[in-house]
Amino acid sequence: MHTRSDNICMSGRTESSSDGYIFIVNPNSRSGMGHRIWNMVRPVLNERGIRYRVFFTKYQRHAVRIVRELTSDGKCHTIVVLGGDGTVNEVVNGIADLSKITLGYIPTGSSNDFARSLRLPTDPLKALDNILRPSRYLSVNIGVLTYDRNKKKRRFAVSSGIGFDAGICHEAMVSRMKILLNRLHLGKLTYVGIALRQILSLTPGKITLVLDDTRRLSFDRAYFATAMNCKYEGGGFKFCPNADCCDGLLDIIVISGLSKFKLLTLLPTAYKGWHTRFRGVYTFTCKKAAITGITPLPVHADGEPVFKQAKAVMSLEAEKLRVIAVP
């Protein structure tokens, strides 16, 4: 297995699984911030005599492989993610059986929408203390994106969308501006800057939305359609203010029929969730959504690009994931 593991076994504490905590660390999250935060976390674990193993990701989708191998034993595990939403996505996609996993999260990414939606601590040491002394858990829905003619699947924890928001994610993945702004602790501005540029070059198109295989809707000038498991995406856009990741439903947002000027003026209001009051913003709830465009469009799952697709189907896993929450 191409992973580096520091296996430290210490006595004096009983965790929820026999091998203690499993830390999945993305050292490169937020342009190297992940490594520095791990160097803050590790001494606390050692001082408290915590039993743990740590695995560092080295390339894209590495966490999927690590977690798949670790959870293939069919046992219960407590996995702690130290990274951003992309790392959470990879870990979730690697879990063999969601019902056997407890997830803790120390957010170190540039957007951290999963932590924001669950109101998890952003301070690394506070987040760690909450994980080591849990008093409350949430049973969180996990979404499934089905795409391609071969019906490939990818899980998502935050959101999955097609169109404008996915285009932003695609560009952010290769943006030099994101690296610079992350170093200046201004990573969220990456998405704002890219969004402005994308709006100016984007041509809205026709999409068809089918909810729960029964309700069919058409939008002639749609900018994007997104299935939200959580309230936030894109570094704090509160696209679906009523979304609840524990309610067994997906919240769908479609923005269609607006001029580019109106879209530009509307987007800032989405940080507060006020955009839903405006004409051209449509929201729905469902268990399954099928979105089809007349041409292939960018698609994402938790901000991770899935290339261009003509159709994307979003649904929910039958099993939920237990997540360590704040008291």
Q: What is the pLDDT of residues 149-173, one digit of tens each?
A: 878 999 999 999 998 766 565 555 5
Domain count, the chain: 2
Residue 326 covered by a domain:
no
* Domain finish residue from 114, 134, 154: 134
Q: How many CB atoms lie within 10 A of CB 6?
A: 11
The answer to whether residues 65 and 214 belong to one domain is no
Contact (CB, 8 A) for 160 and 145: yes
Residue 325 covered by a domain:
no
For residue 142, give both structure tokens.
């996990």
Rounded CA-CA distance 194/270 in Å is 16
- Give the residue numbers spanning the domain of 289: 143-316
Distances (CA, A) of 201 to 10, 34, 275, 280: 56, 34, 22, 19
Residue 54 covered by a domain:
yes
Please classify residue 180 by burial: count the beta carbons closer than 10 Å to its beta carbon, then call 0-12 exposed, 13-18 middle and 19+ buried: middle
Whole-number mean pLDDT of the chain? 87
- Phi and psi angles of residue 126, each rounded to the nearest 5 degrees, phi first: -70, -40
The answer to whether residues 32 and 114 belong to one domain is yes
pLDDT for the residue 72: 96
Residue 219 covered by a domain:
yes
Residue 238 covered by a domain:
yes
Residue 322 covered by a domain:
no
Closest by Cα among 89, 73, 87 to 38: 87
Quickly state the pLDDT bin for 174 (edges 50, 70, 90). very low
Contact (CB, 8 A) for 20 and 9: yes
Q: What is the pLDDT of residues 8-61, one digit of tens each?
A: 333 233 344 557 999 999 998 876 789 999 999 999 999 999 999 999 999 999
pLDDT for the residue 190: 56
Provide mean pLDDT across the span 64-82: 97
> Per-residue DSSP letters for 56-95?
E--STTHHHHHHHHHHTT---EEEEEEE-HHHHHHHHHH-
Residue 33 covered by a domain:
yes
Residue 128 pLDDT exceeds 50: yes
275: which DSSP letter?
G
**Terminal-residue alpha carbon distance, the chain:** 37
CA 29 to chain CA mean position, Å: 14
What residues form DSSP beta bridges with 252? 227, 284
pLDDT for the residue 6: 39
pLDDT for the residue 32: 79
Highest mean pLDDT among 67-71, 189-193, 259-263, 297-301: 67-71
CATH of residue 40: 3.40.50.10330
Residue 321 covered by a domain:
no
